[in-house]
A and B are shown apart, each in its own frame.
Chain A
Amino acid sequence: MIDILDGLKAAFWLVISFDAELWEISLRSLRVTLSALIIASLIAIPLGTYLAVQRFRYRRFAISLINALMGLPPVVIGLLVYIALSRSGPFGVLNLLFTPTAMIIAQVIIITPVIASIAHQAMRELWAEYHDLLISLNTTKWQRIVTLIRDGRRNLLTAALAGFGRAIGEVGAIMIVGGNIDHVTRVLTTAIALETGKGDFALALALGFVLIGIAIVVNLAIHTLSRTEREGRW
Chain B
Amino acid sequence: MNRFLLVAIALLWAQVSSADNMRLAVTTSFENSGLADVLLPAIKTDIDLDVQLLVVGTGQALKLGAAGDVDAVLVHSKEAEEAFVTAGYGTHRREIMYNDFVIIGPVEDPAGINGAANVIDAMTNIATAKARFVSRGDDSGTHKAERALWAAAGLNIQDHGDWYQAVGSGMGAALNTAAGLNAYIIADRASWLNFGNKKGLSLLFSGDPALYNQYAFLPVDPVKNSHVRNDLAMLLEEWLTGARAAALINGYSIGGEPLFVFNATTD
Does any Cβ of A come within 8 Å of B213's Cβ?
no
A198 to B, closest residue via Cβ:
B172
Give 18 CB contacts A-B under 8 Å.
A27-B12, A34-B12, A87-B67, A87-B69, A88-B68, A88-B225, A98-B52, A182-B52, A197-B169, A197-B170, A198-B196, A199-B175, A199-B176, A199-B179, A199-B198, A200-B196, A200-B197, A226-B1
A183 to B171: give the CA distance in the assembly, Å: 22
Evaluate contact between B69 and A181: CB separation under 8 angstroms.
no
For B5, what are the chain A residues with a Cβ–Cβ distance below 8 Å?
225
In the complex, A180→B31 CA distance in Å? 12
What chain A residues lie within 8 Å of B69 (beta carbons)? 86-87, 97-98
Chain B residues numbered 151-171 whose CB sits less than 8 Å from any CB in chain A = 169-171
Give Cα A198–Cα B196 distance, bound, in whole angstroms.
Answer: 6
**A196 CA to B175 CA, complexed, in Å:** 10
Number of A residues near B (Cβ < 8 Å) is 29
User: Which residues in chain B, 1-57, are within 8 Å of chain A measured between CB atoms?
Assistant: 1, 4-5, 9, 12-13, 15, 18, 23, 28, 32, 40, 50, 52-55
Taken together as a complex, chains A and B put the C-alpha atoms of A38 and B8 apart, in Å, by 13
Which size class do B's interface residues fall under? 35 or more
Chain A residues with Cβ under 8 A from B40's Cβ?
A: 182
Q: Cβ of A184 < 8 Å from any Cβ of B?
A: yes
Contact A196 B172 (CB under 8 A): yes
Q: Do A98 and B23 contact each other (CB < 8 Å), given the known contacts A34-B9, A199-B175? A: yes
By CB atoms of chain B within 10 A, which of A38, A92, A95 has the most? A92
A105 — which chain B residues lie within 8 A by C-beta? none
Q: Chain A: interface secondary structure?
A: loop
Interface string of B222-236 (1 = CB under 8 A from A): 000101000000000
Is the beta-carbon distance between B53 and A199 smaller than 8 angstroms? no
Does B83 count as interface, using CB distance less than 8 angstroms? no
- Docked CA distance A226–B197 (Å): 45
Which of A27, A87, A179, A194 contacts B225, CB < 8 Å?
A87
Q: Closest approach, in angstroms, between the C-beta of B144 and any C-beta of chain A? A: 19
By beta carbon, the residue of chain A nearest B56 is A179
Q: Contact mask A79-90 → B, CB, 8 Å, 1/0?
A: 000000011110
- When distances are taken between beta carbons in the complex, the residues of chain A under 8 Å from B169 are 197
Q: Quick one: which of A6-65 are within 8 Å of B by CB?
A: 27, 30-31, 34-35, 38
- Residue picked from A31, A38, A181, most chain B C-beta under 10 Å: A181
Least CB separation from A27: chain B residue: B12
- The closest CB in chain A to the CB of B2 belongs to A225
